[in-house]
Structure formats: structure tokens, C-alpha cells
Amino acid sequence: MIEIKLSQGAKPGHGGILLGSKVNTEIAKTRGIKVGEDCVSPARHSMFSTPKELLDFADTLRNKSGGKPVGIKLCVGHPWEFMAIVRAMIETNQRLDFITVDGAEGGTGAAPVEFADHLGFPLRDAIVFVDNVLRGAGLRDQIKIAASGKLVSAYDIIRHCALGADWCNMARPFMFSIGCIQALNCASNNCPSGIATMDPQRYRVLDVTTRGARVRNFHKNTLRALSEMIGAAGVSHPKDLTREHIVRRTSANLGKITEKIYPYVTNNALLDNKPVHDPQISAYWDRVSGDSFQLKAKQ
């Protein structure tokens, strides 16, 4: 798989920064900078600037890699930007193979605090939005969706698969299993638990054999809990979960089936000009184009 990273939940709209304290000889050679120099990645790609150019770039990567699946990773910000990508897929008949949706809850101690705290869609809302747009455009059965961002437990997997994800990416709990204490010191190279550091004096505390066993045990027991909850829901596979399987508490004494909170968009509804009960979709669909990430002016 090849994933084109458009944005990250911890810092949507912000380029990556690797402080000079982490730039060793190998990284410096790879990135074409000096050892000890800050490595600052731009907040945009140089290979494309429109949705259609993004799809052309994805096709190029797919062809050069011998047909590997190519997709994008994004934290949804302005909803029309993702909708413009979907519009481009309809207009060009080009397809992404998958979309990784990163929630604003996703984190790294190397992210600017204001970005981590305030920017981007929460994961649950974003998964539903992406799933509904693809359904309305008649593309849902052609494109897989992954959920990413602060997923920790088996129930997190259950919930997000029910909301629309085909699979879930998890990193945080595996970091916990090897000793991460969330010191938020990832960028400094001074991680107190020896995980997010390239200092041999610090990472020497990590015994690969014992820490690897912790990761294995966590994953095994997470899958066991997942299978038990799948059975308790009366289905045999996560793909059988729907929004009807999740109840969300809306007050101290009231719960609501999630499908009533997040109604499904009918397949092809956007193509057939049928009503869409999601104002974020209906308000912008006629104002997006595959030629630009910007909204067209209101008529």
C-alpha cells in the first residue's frame, strides 16, 4: 500500500518538524540536510495542487509500484475539500483505493498544542461524513475506509467499524504497552521512557524481547475481546456492523441508536439529486469541482 499523507489529526494543515537533535547522519543523507539541522516539511505537496492532479499522482504511484493500492490520509477540516476529491473521482473516473481518516484526537508530543487542541474533525464525525459522501457519490463499494486517531481498545474498533470504517489503525496502545507515559516530550530527543528518542543512552532501556512480548500480548487480547463483542452483537464479522449496533448516550437517562444521530445517505443520492439529510454535504456538493479545492461562489 502507498499512502499519500494530506494531513494528520495531531496537526492538520501543518507540516512536520523534526528537530535538529534527532537529525542523525542517516536522516541528514536521506533528506539532503546537515546533521543537527531542523528538518521542516512543507504543509503542502509539490506534485499536485488540485483534486484532479492528486488523482493523476495516485495513478502514477500505482503504475510505478506495479499496481499497489494507493490512497490518501487526511484529517477532515473544510468538508468541501474532501468533497472536491470525490467530485474529481466522478469527473475523471479515476479512483483512490482507500482513504485513511485521521481524527483530530490523534496526537504526538511533537505537534503544536493549538493545532492538537482545536483543529480538525473528531474521528467519529469524520468517519460518518466520509462514508456518507462516498455512498452519495456511488463510490462506497469501490473505496475502503480506515479509521485512525486515538483508538485504544477493542470497543474503539467495534464503534468505528459500525460507523463506516473497513479497518482501524492503532498506534497509541502499542506505545503504552512498551512503556510510553505520554510525557509529550517526543520532539526533544529526551523521551524519559526511551521510546521516542534516538539517543542510545536513553533507548538502551528498551529490551526488544520483553517489550515485544508486551505488544504481542496486548494485540492478542484485544482481538480476543473484539471477537467476543462481535459475537455478543450477534454478527460474525466487523463488516456486518452498522450504525444500528451502537447506542450513544445523549443525556443522563437517554440513549439513541447512532443511525438516528448519523442517518445514512442513500447510495447515488448526490448523483440522482435526491435529498441528503446532512447539511455539510447538501450545502457544498453543488459548489465543489475536481479542478480546485476551493469552493465555487454561490449562485
Half-sphere exposure (Cβ direction) of 289: Cα atoms closer than 13 Å: 7
**CA distances for 135 relative to 72, 141, 180, 229, 272, angstroms:** 18, 8, 39, 27, 12
CA distances from 260 to 92, 116, 172, 177 (A): 34, 30, 30, 36
What residue ranges do the domains of the chain occupy?
A: 1-10+47-170+235-299, 174-232
The per-residue pLDDT string of the chain (299 residues; one tens digit each, 9 = 90 and over) reads: 999 999 887 677 777 788 888 888 998 999 899 998 988 888 888 899 999 999 999 999 999 999 999 999 998 989 999 999 999 999 999 999 999 999 887 767 666 777 776 678 899 999 999 999 999 999 999 999 999 988 999 999 999 999 999 999 998 899 999 998 888 888 888 889 888 888 888 888 889 999 999 999 999 999 999 999 999 999 999 999 999 999 888 888 888 899 888 999 999 999 998 988 888 899 999 999 999 999 888 77
Q: Give SS3 for 148.
A: strand
- List of residues 6+ apart from 187 with CB closer than 8 A: 17, 18, 19, 22, 109, 110
Q: Hey, which CATH number is domain 1-10+47-170+235-299, 3.90.76.10, 3.20.20.70, 3.20.20.450, 3.40.630.30?
A: 3.20.20.70
Give the Cα separation of 86 and 91 in Å (integer): 9
pTM above 0.85, yes or no: yes
Q: How far apart are CA 23 and CA 100, in angstroms?
A: 28
Report the alpha-carbon distance of residue 165 to residue 268 in Å, rounded.
19
